[in-house]
Structure formats: C-alpha cells, structure tokens
Amino acid sequence: MRKVKITKEEVLEYHSKGRPGKLEIIVTKPYSRQRDLSIAYSPGVAYACEEIHANPELAYEYTMKGNFVAVISNGTAVLGLGNIGALAGKPVMEGKCLLFKALADVDAIDLEVNTQDPDEFITVVKNLEPTFGGINLEDIKAPECFYIEEKLKELLNIPVFHDDQHGTAIITTAGIINALLLVNKKPEDVRVVINGAGASGIACAKMLLTIGIKKENMILCDSSGVIYKGRTKGMNPYKEEFATDLPVRTLEEAVEGADILIGMSVKGAFTKDMIKKMASNPIIFACANPDPEIFPEEVFEVRKDAIVATGRSDYPNQVNNVLGFPFIFRGALDVRAKTINEEMKRAAALALAELAREEVPESVLRAYGLEKLEFGRDYIIPKPLDPRVPLWVAPAVAKAAMESGVARKPINDFEEYKIQLERKLRGKAGEVIRRIINEARKAPKKIVFVEGYDKEIIRASHTIKEEGIGEVILIGNLEHIKRSMEEVGLDISNEVKIIDPLNFDKKEKYAEILYELRKRKGVTKEEAKRLVEFDPETLAALMVYTGDADVLIAGRNRHYPDALSPILRVIKPKPGIKVASGVYMVIAKDEVFFFADTTVNILPTAEELAEIAICTADTARKFGVEPKVAMLSFSNFGSVKHPEAIKVAEAVKIVKKRRPDIIIDGEMQADTALDPEILVNTYPFSSLKERANVLIFPSLNAGNIAYKICAKIGNATVIGPILQGLSKSVHVLQRGSNSREIFHLAAVAVAKAEMLKYDVFKDDEGISLP
C-alpha cells in the first residue's frame, strides 16, 4: 500500500469549509409544533425531571446519558506535538468524537480543560459525571495520566478509559497473541523488551501480563536506558513497578536474545544491529508515529524470519486504536458498565486476535485494493475498515462486563443484541440481513452452485459453512476447482462436496429423468445425456428436482436469460402460477421494499402482472413484511388513456378478485405510491392508504432500471434477485456478483426453501423483519 500524501492546505480547508469543525448537534424529537416545544422544554419536561429525581437510573431512559461520551483533554501530550495546550488540541478531540459516532454510533462531545494541575482536572471531570455515560481521557502526558485515570475510576460510577494507554495496549496485545501462535512460542516462555515507558508503554506491559507473559521476562526502557531496581533518574511509581533485577543498562543490551521488541518511543530508536541480536522468529512492534522506530524493510534486510507491525497504514499489521475504543465503549455503554476493567480489555484483545484468524471478506479486500489476505506474518491484526470488528469486539466487551459483575443492564440474548448492533451501526440493511441469516441457520439446506470453479463462489461457500446455513455442493472439474481454491487461499475441499459431471455416479439416472421430462419437447436420450454432462445448469436443476439438493444458485458468469432458461426446462412454477418473476429486496434507510419484476418478464400481460403482484406480496409476507402493493404506471387511476396504463389497471382487478386479502391498488405513479398525503388527499377512494412497500413495475425496463438507480444513487442495499413463483428455491445471480452478495442470496434462498415446504403461508410463517 502507498503512503497517503496530505498537504497542510488540504487539511485546513477540510476543517474550515462550510460549518467550521467536524461536529454538530442533531435534534432527535419533533419540534415543529407548539405542543412539541412544551413537551421538550417547559412546562412538560418537568415530569421527566421528577422521575429522574426519584430514580437516578431513569436518566438513562429519558436523556441521552446512556449513549453519551466525553472526550476530555488538557492538551499536554497531543499527538507528536507535545504540550500545546487545551485549545490547540481541540481539532484532535473533535476528530475522536467523529470516530465514535461514525464507527460505533456513540454520541461524543469534546471538552478541553484549561488546566495542567491533575487534581484540578480530576475535580472538573468528577463534577461532569451526571451528564455522561462514559469518559474518554485523551492526550494527557505521563505520569499524570496514570494518576488522573486511577483517581477518576475510584470516584466515578461510569466507565473511564484513557485510550492513549489502553487502546494501544489492546491492539498490540491482539497482534502479539497471533504473532506468538505463528512462531509457535508460548507467552510464559518469551522475553519482551518495551522501549518507551510513557502511557502506552506501561499500559502494554500491564496488558501483556494478562495473556501469560511473565513480569520477570520483561524489560522496560526509556530515554535514559533500562528501568532497573535502584535507578533514580526519571523514575516514578509506575516505572518502578516494572523495574528489572537483570544486569542490563542499555536498550542494546536488553534486546539480545529477546523474542519480542515493542517500540512506543521515537523514530529511529531501533537499529539493524539490535534486530540481529534477537532470538529466532523475532516479533517487532515499531509503533512510533508518523515514522516508526525502524521501518519494516530495514528489519527484513537483516532478519527474514521477523514479524513486524507498525502504526502506519501503508505497511501490513497496523496498530490502530480505532479498532478498539469505539467498540469497547459501545459494549460498555450497552450493558451500562460501571467501569472498563481488565477483563473487558482482555476480552477486546482476544476478540480482535480471533477475528484476524477468520477468512477476510471480499468487502475488506476491495477497500484495501487486495486480491488476497489471510492470517499469517503480514496479517495478525484486523484491518481498521473491516465491518466485522464492532460485531466481534462490542459483544465480547459486554459479555466480559457481565461476567465480571460490573454490568448494570445485562444482555439476555446476544444473537438479538448482534442484530440490534448491526442495525445501529449499518442501518436497517444490516439488521434485515442478520435476521435472514439467523432464520437460515434454523434449517440449513443443501446448496448447489453451478459455477463451482469461480473464486467468488468459493469465498461465499466458505462463509456459508462458517455461518452454518447449509451444505455446499460445487459443480465443475475437480482440478479446476481445487486450483481456484489454492489461488484464493481457501482449501475447503473437505468442507464441500464437489461433483464433476463427467464422473458423476448419477448421471445416467439424471439423463433418464430429463428425457422423461422433455421427450415431447424435442430432447432425445442422447441429448439428455449430453445436457447432464455438459450443461451444469441442467445438472443442478435435476439435483434440486430429485431432492439431492434444496437450493440452486447460478449465473455469476452468464447472462441472466442464458442461465435461467435451462433451469426452467426442469423446475416448473408452483400450482396456479404460470410465470416466474424476479424480485429485489430494497432496503432504504429504515424501510424495506420489494421491487418486481426486475429480471424475467420483459413486457408482462395483465394476467402476468397480476401473478407477479401476488407472488411478490406472498414473498414479502414470508419475510415478515405485511404487503401494501402499488401497481406502477405513468398514469394515476385512469388519468392517461393508454393501452399500457389500462393493462396495469386490469391487473389490479385480477388480483383483487383472485386474492382479496392483498392490499393493492393502481395504476398509479411512483410518487403517489410512496407519498401517503397524495393518496389520502388526492385519491381518497384508493384502497391503499399508506406508503406502498411492494412496487410492481409495468415492464422489465422500468423495474431493472429502478432498483439499480436506488442502489447506485440512493445508496440503498439490494438483496437478490430472488426468483419467485417456482416450485423450488432456485436463483440466478446478477452477473459479476461478489462473494458477499452471493452469500446474502444464499441465505435468502435457504430461508425460502424452508418456506416452500408449506402450501399456504400464514402471516406468522415467515421471518420477522421489524
């Protein structure tokens, strides 16, 4: 990765353009009416005050306290700038607040305290306790930072966390755990040298003790050399705790034979000669910023066997506090923890270490412009842009708070908590997807992929196994599939079933079945054999038809019609349905919509539009959404006399006659369908009284264009295409789908396969999507 170049002019423009700074306050309650203002403020607000006075815990229910963190600094140790004062440090504190909100949906405000007296600072923060749910101390110099945090933790009944200490320590510890695994060394056996005995250095030393590294095997150094017993220069009680008995006095002496060297100091503090003296498979964390104690390429010049981490984003293994503090506070706030204790910090480190050993999702590879990334010497710490980090760290911290007895609001169901967390951090889309995955887990299915050799299919297959939603069957040449697995670094050949059509033991049986199905459609016995051997879509369709598979997914490398046609020759519509159709679940902000037909029928007739509407309404119900169907057109209830508009109106009549239980109306324009005021005020006769959530388009042109515009311009999340109206759960991907999209469709397909076991779908027989 390349180093990002940033100019002073660019930074200053960023901070000054538009509204100066990086933060603003957003109102969360209605305020447009006089009544709203009387409730928000005087006189109505007095009721909330009285309730809190009677029971202080109700402040978490009636105010923002439970999701409110103060980022507090006195500006005595700002970045690498030193003691520049409270006001000059404000841009950093605002930036920290931005990260809290953007990454973990924690509301944060910066408070710059203009004092360098530790006790005065403590008094100020102590008196702010009623306002906040947590305190993040920032950029306070050592050793005062240790004293300030210790006293505040004693005095306050809310979490207090000095990120410069513990954030760096947690991320470093996660990396050390994994590095030790890779070099096959045990924590209790290794020798550690830490250069830098300030906030982060001493915190790292304390944190490493929690994973089994022994204090007697640890040497701390500062600018005066080794911290040893009896030394007087530059000492304080916090350094004294780690003073060594060993007869070494310089960093050069200390590193000889060391297994781990951690730098929390200054550029150039480590030399190649020092690295040469270290034990086999040395682990070096050079965390000085912006330039490390030693650059990775300098290490590798003398030690090819080293594992190296830095604080920089342009090298592998970045130690970045953003992996910790937002999600540590998220977990602590969500259980109303009284403090952030050692158990919670350790849980965060273990969660990060474990996550780095998991398969890396395609979204992370895209974000960093990588083809491949897997656990190893160049990947021992998760990437900061990995969207899974909050879902691993926050629950781990919350659980540790509960188990260590500091949680005041325990979480009863962690699966539900993860769903709510996903919604909080990723919006409605994350919540919907997680619920679908959880539903699929309840009844895993056999999923056959037509393009078993495809790398994205292989990545998705691994995720399917990891998430426990099904057994995977890959169709294709065995050697080709294994070669693709090797190229993506995922040998899952023992986790999936691979079917090579030419060597398939059921091919004769399948050919006979196909012949019986298609003999009056021009298929001979020889043609049936050829199709089974050389047309993977046909083979997969026959697997689903016979029950050897439950779900079929095809089409990543073929045009949609080409992939769908062979499948429809085997898999027929459900009884009473004549046409298949494609629907996309479109999630925009906090709403779920269903768009159809988006993939199959180019110019459907009135009868076909009616079937599409019925199938889509049923699909919505199966996924827990009560359908409100709008049949779209360029006309509103006969305002334009045109065959296309008349066709849509006729389709509405057919649906109302066939399925009176469905709330439906049309023909209508899109804005009419989505704006209840237009419906109620202009068309009060309409049976649709609320905003439509099922949109049926008059042509494939309209439907296909609409969902893509929503995705690309409206930033909606789209899930699909879901093929509906068929007797089996078979689906065709959009060409070029990535592994995440494939996995999401697979989860939908598994849930749909379970639903298809029922002839009649009742309102409570679906996934509950709020």
Contact 79, 143 (CB under 8 A): no
Catalytic-role residue among 96, 153, 446, 752: 96
Specify the pairing of strand 160-162 against strand 134-137: parallel
3-class SS letters over 747-769:
HHHHHHHHHCCCCCCCCCCCCCC
Q: Supply φ then ψ for residue 468, to 5 degrees.
A: 70, 35
Classify residue 394 as exposed, middle or buried by CB count within 10 Å of its CB (0-12, 13-18, 19+).
buried
d(CA 203, CA 162): 10
Beta strands in 214-358 (DSSP E): 218-222, 225-226, 260-263, 283-286, 307-310
Please return the burial class of 18, using the count of CB atoms within 10 Å of its CB with bins 0-12, 13-18 and 19+.
exposed
List the one residue out of 531, 451, 464, 535 whose CA is nearest residue 498.
451
Residue type, 223: S
**Are the CB atoms for 340 and 332 separated by under 8 Å?**
yes
- The pair of three-digit structure tokens given for residue 126, joined into one six-digit string: 């102590």
Helix (H, G, I), strand (E, B) or coil at 501: helix
Cα-Cα-Cα-Cα dihedral sign, residues 170, 173, 175, 177 = negative
Contact 324, 393 (CB under 8 A): yes
DSSP per residue, 465-521: HHHTSEEEEEES-HHHHHHHHHHHT---TTTSEEE-GGG-TTHHHHHHHHHHHHGGG
Strands 551-554 and 445-449: parallel
Kindly give the residue spans of alpha helices, DSSP state H, lying in 288-388: 296-302, 325-334, 342-356, 362-368
Cα–Cα–Cα angle for 495, 498, 502, rounded to 5 degrees: 170
User: Strand 192-195 relative to strand 260-263: parallel, antiparallel, unpaired?
Assistant: parallel
Q: Which of 745, 617, 761, 580 is nearest to 692 (CA)?
A: 617
For 48, half-sphere exposure in the C-beta direction (CA atoms, 13 angstrom radius) is 14
Q: What is the rounded CA–CA span in Å between residue 319 and residue 624?
A: 43
Alpha carbon distance 339, 397 (integer Å): 11
Strand pairing partners for 222? 225
736's tokens: 């070029």
- To the query of whether residue 60 is one of the catalytic residues in this protein, the response is no
User: Do the Cβ atoms of 471 and 446 come closer than 8 Å?
Assistant: yes
Selecting among 3, 14, 31, 41, the annotated active-site residue is 41
Contacts of 231 (CB under 8 A, 6+ apart): 224, 243
Residue 453 among the catalytic residues = no
Which sequence positions are flagged as catalytic? 41, 96
